[in-house]
Amino acid sequence: MSLKNFFKELSESENTNITMTDKQICIISAAIEIFSEKGYSATTTSEIAKKAGVGEGTIFRHYKTKLEMLLAIPNYLNKSPSSKSHMSDLTRIFESPYEKFEDFIKDVIQNRKEFILKNTPLIKVLVQEVPLHPELRDTMSESVLFPNMEKLIQAIDRFKEKGQIINIPSETIVHLLLTSMMGYFFTIFIASFHFNVDYDKEPDYLAQYILHGLSITDNKIELSREAAL
């Protein structure tokens, strides 16, 4: 079971001061699994205990309340070794002096795609619960989507200066990037919409699409009337 491995890795890592007993690993991975299937609110603690193979009291020995379990998830995500390595890779991408925007955006997408695939159930819970628990919102944008936002904006500014991407506000570009990736992620992983498409190729079409979307082309497009006022 990969979720258990995730927490085993997390517990055994030397860089984090998180130590967990076997039971505790069972509890949190069972919780995440059921949360992602039924939602936080509809999940009962007895159900978690049963799936984890522990007594119900054991849950409350480690987490004072059920809510505390949910709010602990971002913390685990942030401290996991795989997350940390993806994050530092991403920072390196943001800081590197890429020649072409194309290479930059492909590396960013590849990085986020790998990260999301490695932590799907965890992230699914976060995405699902973020509208109902605003406390989770900051973690979402800071650690799942674009950690190190300022560096990203600086990178985008550099590409704008080079004349490689369209001259609209950098915050807007970040929003469009985030929008595309969120939407892509939401439709496939969260809402499970089914499209008759090749899901292996799809992320590369996405890259191509974003790349086109922000590149400067010959056919200039006027903004519609209402945007002008």
Partner DNA sequence: TCTCTGAGTGAGTGTTCACTCACATAAGCA
Partner DNA sequence: TGCTTATGTGAGTGAACACTCACTCAGAGA
Binding region for a copy of itself (CB under 8 A): 38-39, 41-42, 102, 106, 110, 124, 128, 130-132, 134, 137, 140-141, 166, 168-169, 171-172, 174-176, 178-184, 186-187, 190-193, 195-198, 200-215, 217-219, 221, 223-224, 226-227
Burial class of 89 by CB neighbour count within 10 A (0 to 12, 13 to 18, 19+): middle
- Minimum distance of DNA from residue 59's CB (angstroms): 7
**Partner interacting with residue 163 (select from DNA, a copy of itself, none; CB below 5-8 Å by kind):** none
Apex 145 CA angle, 141 and 148, nearest 5: 75
Q: How far apart are CA 98 and CA 144, in angstroms?
A: 23
Minimum CB distance to DNA smaller for 69 or for 177:
69
> What is the per-residue binding string for DNA in 45-84, x denoting contact by CB under 7 A?
xx-------xxxxx-xxx-xxxx-----------------
Q: The tokens of 98 are what?
A: 């890429």
By C-alpha distance, which of 115, 36, 101, 24 is closest to 70? 36
**Tokens 């997390």 -> residue:** 10
Contacts of 95 (CB under 8 A, 6+ apart): 151, 155
- Minimum distance of a copy of itself from residue 203's CB (angstroms): 8
- Minimum distance of a copy of itself from residue 135's CB (angstroms): 13
**Partner interacting with residue 56 (select from a copy of itself, DNA, none; CB below 5-8 Å by kind):** DNA
Minimum CB distance to DNA smaller for 61 or for 100:
61
Q: The tokens of 67 are what?
A: 């809510």
Q: How far apart are CA 120 and CA 190, in angstroms?
A: 9
By C-alpha distance, which of 87, 88, 79, 69 is closest to 7? 79
Are 20 and 7 within 8 A, CB to CB? yes
> What is the per-residue binding string for DNA in 138-177, x denoting contact by CB under 7 A?
----------------------------------------
Total binding residues for DNA by CB under 7 A?
Answer: 20
Interface residues with DNA (CB under 7 A) are: 21-24, 43-46, 54-58, 60-62, 64-67
